Chains A and B, each alone.
Chain A
Amino acid sequence: GENVEQHPSTLSVQEGDSAVIKCTYSDSASNYFPWYKQELGKRPQLIIDIRSNVGEKKDQRIAVTLNKTAKHFSLHITETQPEDSAVYFCAASSGNTPLVFGKGTRLSVIA
């Protein structure tokens, strides 16, 4: 089955700097790669996703890149703000299988 590895487990950045979180997956059949944000005590919520037919997707300050050959995808957050502090999860699925999540990255944005 699918295995998703996520790094780093914790990340601290200064407000205004960029943050990058990286994930690798094992199943070459995976074709859907979402990112979820979970604030303290809240539910995970989708912030951006990418499918295997594109290499990059951007939505304001967040972007995701995908390298299918390397089985690697990343989340990029630019101009970080204190409200970006949360745990971020990457995930992967092949469409017919449920999402498999990485273990999460705790991002702290220091004002």
Chain B
Amino acid sequence: DAGVIQSPRHEVTEMGQEVTLRCKPISGHNSLFWYRQTMMRGLELLIYFNNNVPIDDSGMPEDRFSAKMPNASFSTLKIQPSEPRDSAVYFCASSLSRQAGELFFGEGSRLTVL
């Protein structure tokens, strides 16, 4: 298996633009997580899905952030409109189930908002 696949790896955009980050989890994994990593705040959970259903989105910073998982093999995280403080590395991770334990992370998407 290729592991968790994220795109784009790097994104540079201007304030106010829409950003869409994409994730393909490991086949057979039922849980998918979006984390944001910054120097100041470390790894923060934004939202997670179980069997394609959003379970907890309390970590989503504000209404500008939204996430979807239309099927078991694809998820998106959208920021609209983007702001400079959204600059961070966004990681997608998957696991066999909520109770399975180990998270498998993608390579991350480094977002820079100018």
Contacts and interface: CB of A to CB of B under 8 A. Distances in A.
Contacts of A97: 98
Size range of the chain B interface in the assembly: 10 to 19
Interface in B78-108: 91, 98-99, 101-103, 105-108
Contacts of B101: 32, 34, 49
Contact of A103 (B35, B42, B91): B42
B57 to A, nearest CB: 12
What does DSSP make chain A's interface, helix, strand, loop or mixed? Answer: loop
Contacts of A45: 105
Contact of B105 (A43, A98, A102): A43
A100 interface: yes
B45 A89 contact: no
B99 A43 contact: no
Interface of B: 33, 35, 41-43, 45, 48, 56, 91, 98-99, 101-103, 105-108
Shortest 4 CB-CB contacts between residues of A and residues of B:
A103-B42, A43-B105, A101-B43, A95-B99
